[in-house]
Amino acid sequence: MPTSGYHHLTQHERCQISILKESDFSITQISLKLKIHKSSVSRELKRNRFLRSYDPEESQKLASQRRSKASQHPKKIDANVAFFY
């Protein structure tokens, strides 16, 4: 059973996904083998499909860029907006 909780996929996990996918493992089989939720595997494969194939190195590079970009722009709170509860 996949573990609960959230974590980013590692380079090693992305390589394993690639190898297992090329070996015709299903998304469910990959998720059980790696103990990652099947929706995470599915999203990873959909998000990082390059010319109909999955490239773990390129996927890791793009994930790092997304994380870096998100951390550069913290959300700003507008002091003029009133919150009512």
What does the pLDDT read at residue 47?
86
What does the pLDDT read at residue 23?
96
Q: Which pTM was predicted? A: 0.68
**What pLDDT tens digit does each residue of the chain (85 aa) get?**
455 666 789 999 999 999 999 999 999 999 999 999 999 999 999 888 876 788 888 888 888 888 777 666 666 666 666 665 5
Report domain extents, the chain: 11-64
Tokens 């070996």 — which residue?
A: 23
How many Cβ atoms sit within 10 Å of the Cβ of residue 43?
12
DSSP 73: S
Q: What angle do CA 46, 54, 14 make, to 5 degrees?
A: 90
